[in-house]
């Protein structure tokens, strides 16, 4: 599969703009700390773990072409 094929596959699974996809992406943004700091004071391993989660979410949003917005709670 090419990069474009993978992007099409992601978009087929999570259709941006579709109601359920929006709910899933909002939840992903929330649990993966998109739009907020990943720093955990005094815990470099916790910070790295949270940043890893955030990186995965950013990859997914990038593949879908979804603009990033702070989660806002």
pLDDT per residue as tens digits for the range 11-68: 999 987 889 999 999 999 999 999 999 999 999 999 999 999 999 999 999 999 888 7
Task: Note every long-range contact of 54-58, with CB atoms under 8 Å and residues 24 or more positions apart, other chains counting.
Answer: 56/32, 57/28, 57/29, 57/32, 57/33, 58/34
- Tell me how far apart the alpha carbons of residues 58 and 62 are, in angstroms, rounded to a whole number: 6
Q: Is residue 71 part of a domain?
A: no
Query: Which domain does 60 fall in, by range?
Result: 3-64
Q: Is residue 72 part of a domain?
A: no
Domains contained in the chain, number: 1
Q: Please give the pLDDT value at position 59.
A: 94
Task: For residue 35, give every residue at least 6 positions away whose Cβ sits within 8 Å of its Cβ, in sequence order, or none.
Answer: 29, 68, 69, 70, 71, 72
At residue 73, does pLDDT exceed 60?
Answer: no
Q: Please give the pLDDT value at position 69.
A: 63
């Amino acid at each position: 599969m090419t990069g474009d094929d993978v992007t099409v596959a992601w978009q087929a699974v999570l259709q941006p703009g579709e109601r359920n996809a929006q709910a899933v992406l909002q939840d992903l943004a929330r649990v993966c700390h998109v739009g907020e700091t990943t720093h955990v004071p005094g815990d470099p391993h916790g910070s790295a773990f949270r940043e890893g989660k955030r990186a995965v979410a950013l990859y997914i949003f990038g593949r879908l072409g979804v603009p990033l917005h702070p989660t806002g709670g």
